[in-house]
Chain A
Amino acid sequence: MGNNQDSSIIDLRNLHKCYWVGTMPFPALHGLNLEIAAGEFAVVAGRSGSGKSTLLNIVGALESADSGSVEVLGQDILGMNSDQRTQFRLRNIGFVFQAYNLVRVFTARENVAYVCQLQGKSRKESMEIANHWLHEVEIGHLGYRRPDQLSGGQQQRVAVARALASNPKLILADEPTANLDSTTGRRLIRLMHELNHRFGTTFLISSHDPDVKQAAGRLIKLADGQIVDSWDEVPEPPQSLSSSCPSSHLPLGERVRNYIKLKRQSRGGKRRGGNQRRS
């Protein structure tokens, strides 16, 4: 798998990502390599904080990375500007988030039709597509309901229908079952798996739910921002924080602030040194 360039839908090489809170670095991904072929049903598993969301957000062109290369559907995501990313997401990727995915003032059908309309399809055609996908996720009879008239599981099904309605190659689902009870969650995962089989759409799902892991066609184990082969394996820690989060990746504003602070400290230090009162 993965050798055939055409069938590889995600290709991540040596991916690094740090978050900065002020000048404090929070490493999220270190040197991640991952290839996912078209049609896979892949689950990224790992504890909270292991970097699952970060990974999915970078693949989904929602976030940038510090270094490495990200190719999705053969396109270099990191080189895109914000408008290109928006268009890329609209055309190629379906999203399912953890909860509250839907527009409150739209019915289920309108929520699904929304992406088709954004893509420029007429309202009528969009509504037909929405009806179709709502049937596929087995809630065709609830299309007229608003999100607040649907259960959590039903809402997630609407989100899945919406993700499929734009006819994407890839669907990213970040902990789609986290807000559901286990039975409902299991059913949702089974449904997604089925859809993956029938339509060949690639799924990349993040979860720390054992049921989800069980259903995985391929399980990607993530620990401390690195992919491990088994949970027993302790990932090699990066040599140092400064090597995994070089301050050259610090946002410009912070770098300037940092510089000014250091300057002031050194100046203030000298002055304090001059008229020391402690004896």
Chain B
Amino acid sequence: MNQSTSTVINTILTVALRNLLAHRRRTFLTIGAIAVGLASLIFLWGFNEGLHRNMLGNFQDAIIGSIQIHHQGFFQHPELSKAIANPQKVVAALRQADVSRYSMRLESFGLAASDITTQGVMLIGMDPLREGEVTQLGKRIGIGRFLAPEDEYTIILGATTANNLQVKLGDEVVIIGYDRFGAMLAESFTLIGIITSGEMGLDKGMAITTLATLQQMVDMPDRVTTVVIGSDESRVPALTAELEAALQGERLEVMPWYAMFPVMKEWVSLHNGFLYLFLGVVLFIVLAGELNTLLISMLERTREFGVLMAIGTTGYQIAAILLVEAVVIGIVGIVSGILLGYVIVLFTGKYGIDLSILLGSTSRFYVDPLIHPHLKLDHLGITSGVILVASIFAGLYPAWRASKLQPVEAIRNG
């Protein structure tokens, strides 16, 4: 029985494959439609992923890093009185977690004043040596230079702020701040650099000096409010959990970038949602195209199927012929789609896609004009799997109809 079953299966496979080959043009057009649909989806996923990596990377690199640790409640209400009680504990936890890219900051609010006017600013004291480990702020100084370790009372302003204050490099800027008890302080700084990132958040309302200078100004030697950590995107959730566990009971908050700026995360989800919508559209086209092909193929063989049933072929065997055709079309289409899509992603990923024509220099926000598509396996798997299922579904209806044929009618009307 086993031997004979396999003979029957072989025979059915042969009928199906021969038929696909007999109608080469129709078969390859259908396969081509699936392949092109899948390849474009794969490319879009890759492009999307590249865009997100680029954008999220730049967003984190700009100033916020991947994860920040503060005293509880500091992110919502930054006050100097909420400095980190024991930075050494944090450093120990970071070592334990094998994190080497981190930097300390002291953050507060203040006013920047020139002879003309004053501007509210976020006052940040940075470690000039370690900051480069976690952000690329140093590379965004369009005019002048970044902080140096030996600097004292030097300051960097965003382009918009500098413009409003009408100050230029070397000019004096007075910073008015408050110490942790609320007493007013004022110091004079020399402008050494201007941030010209094109990003509103950075160009406006930033005043950056060295950590040591700010600690001295507010009389908080060795105190910090913020530990900024740089991490691989894929490790962020796990690292956050690890640090939270390690620092339990220290009255600290461990915040990944997406907890601080959930909008960014939602934006990524929204983008992915659009792609799922597009997946639906491609799915529909694939389904309709293949259904059409198989239905035509079934209808023009009605008589042949009728004869085959008359001489002893069962309805299931007839259905199997059409299902095999559907599956073969689906699998060949998917394999070629994956290859095509993968090659496109690989190629564009290597050389990048230049979007500078589309992105004006000021509206780039966190996006580089050169996008490097990158393919994630789960996206590839979901997309290919769904299209495979769709292609099998496309075969179900013609197969079901063929299996219900009555031989006499099929022979008479076919």
Contacts and interface: CB of A to CB of B under 8 A. Distances in A.
A104 B317 CA distance: 17
Interface stretch (A38-46, A83-91, A209-217, A223-231): A83-91
A66 interface: no
Interface stretch (B269-277, B301-309, B360-368): B301-309
Interface string A61-78: 011000000000000000
Given A104-B22, A105-B15, A114-B11, A162 B311 contact: yes
Contact of A89 (B1, B4, B312, B315): B312
Interface residues of A, number: 35
A120 B411 contact: no
A94 B411 CA distance: 16
A172 B312 CA distance: 14
B10 A115 contact: no
A87 to B, nearest CB: 7
B299 to A, nearest CB: 14
A60 B4 contact: no
A101 B414 CA distance: 12
Contact of A97 (B10, B18, B307, B315): B307
A242 interface: no
A156 B4 CA distance: 28
A90 B315 CA distance: 13
B136 interface: no
Given A117-B8, A118-B11, A123-B7, A103 B304 contact: yes
B96 to A, nearest CB: 68
A118 B313 contact: yes
A105 B309 contact: no
B81 interface: no
A100 B11 contact: no
B408 A121 contact: no
Name which of B1, B3, B411 has the most chain A CB atoms within 10 A of its CB. Answer: B411
Given A87-B312, A166-B312, A122 B304 contact: no
A87 B88 CA distance: 84
A91 B312 CA distance: 8
A103 B15 contact: yes
A106 B18 CA distance: 8
Contacts of A247: none
B407 interface: yes
A100 B303 contact: yes
A247 B3 CA distance: 49
Interface string B5-24: 10110110011001101100
A93 B22 CA distance: 30
Interface in A95-138: 95, 97, 100-106, 110, 114-115, 117-123, 126
Contacts of A90: 311-312
A86 B314 contact: yes
Interface in B379-411: 407-408, 411
Contacts of A104: 22, 304
A167 interface: no
Contacts of A110: 14
Contacts of A122: 3, 7
B310 A117 contact: no
Given A62-B407, A166-B312, A117 B303 contact: no
B3 A120 contact: yes
A57 interface: yes
Contacts of A163: 311
Q: Chain B interface: which size bin?
A: 20 to 34
A105 B308 CA distance: 13
Contacts of B307: 95, 97, 100-103
Given A105-B18, A123-B7, A89 B311 contact: yes
Nearest to B21: A105
Contacts of A89: 310-312
B7 A120 contact: yes
Interface in B278-320: 303-304, 307-315, 317
A118 B312 contact: yes
A63 B408 contact: yes
B155 to A, nearest CB: 82
A94 B312 CA distance: 9
Nearest to B305: A103
A122 B307 CA distance: 22
Contacts of B313: 86, 118
A141 B10 CA distance: 25
Contacts of A87: 312
Given A120-B3, A121-B7, A115 B312 contact: yes
Contacts of B314: 83, 86
A20 to B, nearest CB: 14
A78 B310 CA distance: 16
Nearest to B17: A105
Contacts of A91: 312
Nearest to B304: A103
A58 to B, nearest CB: 10
Interface in B15-53: 15, 18-19, 21-22
Contact of B8 (A63, A82, A97, A120): A120
Nearest to B7: A117
A115 B308 CA distance: 9
Interface of B: 1, 3-5, 7-8, 10-11, 14-15, 18-19, 21-22, 303-304, 307-315, 317, 407-408, 411
Interchain residue pairs A-B with the least CB separation, the first 9: A120-B4, A90-B312, A105-B18, A117-B11, A105-B22, A89-B312, A117-B7, A62-B408, A95-B310
Interface of A: 57, 60, 62-63, 82-83, 86-87, 89-91, 94-95, 97, 100-106, 110, 114-115, 117-123, 126, 162-163, 166
Given A100-B303, A106-B14, A121-B4, 6 more contacts: A86-B314, A100-B304, A102-B307, A103-B15, A114-B311, A162-B311
8 contacts: A57-B408, A86-B312, A94-B311, A104-B22, A114-B311, A120-B5, A121-B7, A122-B3
